Amino acid sequence: MNDTNVSSAVLTRLSEEFGDLTPEAQKAAKYVLENPRDVGVSTVREIAEAANVKPNTVVRMARQVGFEGYDDFREPFREAIRNGQVTFPDRARFLQEIGKSGQMGALYADMVQAALGNVQDTFAGITADALTEAAQAIWSSRNVFTIGVGVNNSVARNFTYLASTGMVQFHAIPRAGSVATDDLAWSDSRDVLIAITSAPYRSEVLEAVEVAREQGVTVIGLTDSPASPVYRAATHGFVVAVDTPQFFPSSIATIALLETLLSFVVAQAGDEIVERVDAFHARRHRIGLYAGEGG
């Protein structure tokens, strides 16, 4: 996404209404959800062309979410741009300098810009209140299942590993020799599923989310767009920027968000979890898991 901090109320309504839109209107809505800043500076024809739909489709989409037409729909986006900070001169100067550094300088600049931009864009669209609510759901749960496949597999398992140093209810799925839907067989409203995926969305993750919802599990979704089926199905949805000059989606912002979410869980838990982490690491020292230490 270019910027999720643009007229969040409109974007939220558009995401909620997404499933009720026609397929053509969904194409327009998907473009708006993923490129909200473009709306404030573009005509209806420009948005339609970018979304590969007719201008009338964009107008119908705007009316679907309660506006009289496109101009009325565009105004909150224009106001957000007028009130927002959209330039970062220090970062721009830094990137210009490394871009001149040599043969690989341009690639280096592109990768650094993508990494910094992804973290910035991700956290610009997320509030502390939203993270607090998700953290409360995690801390009060019986079990927390995390699923990420492909590039997100190691991300999900690392989060589970970190959480398990202080909590015992975390489980990365699918378990060895199993499938995620079976791992969720006995889950219910006392449990949480953290689902991580980005386009093209993995069917294993979507199936796990569907099963979780059917069984009353609280779903926390980390995905790349408000139009993502995981975001729309989640109880607590977070949009994570994954842009990169390379062919694979970036994991940097996802990791940063998960680390932040875990810090919110720890804050909810208070002294109890601190004592658990201390005991966990004291045991490691005692049995010699750290080089040169222990008995």
Tens-digit pLDDT profile for residues 83-120 = 543 333 444 444 555 555 555 666 677 788 888 889 99
What is the domain partition of the chain in residue ranges? Answer: 8-83, 89-124, 128-285
Q: How confident is the model at residue 288 (pLDDT cuts 50, 70, 90)?
A: confident
The three-state secondary structure class of 173 is strand
pTM greater than the 0.75 cutoff:
no
Please, what CATH class does the domain formed by 128-285 belong to? Answer: alpha beta
8-83 folds as Arc Repressor Mutant, subunit A (1.10.10)
Give the tokens for residue 36: 């909200």
Q: How confident is the model at residue 56 (pLDDT cuts 50, 70, 90)?
A: very high
Q: What does each C-alpha distance from 160 to 28, 81, 92, 166, 217 come to in angstroms? A: 37, 38, 36, 11, 18
H-run or E-run covering 279? helix 271-286
Query: 142-160, pLDDT tens digit by residue?
Result: 999 999 999 899 999 999 9
CA pseudo-torsion sign 125, 131, 134, 138: positive
Q: How confident is the model at residue 181 (pLDDT cuts 50, 70, 90)?
A: very high
- C-alpha 35/C-alpha 168 separation (Å) is 40
- C-alpha 163/C-alpha 160 separation (Å) is 5
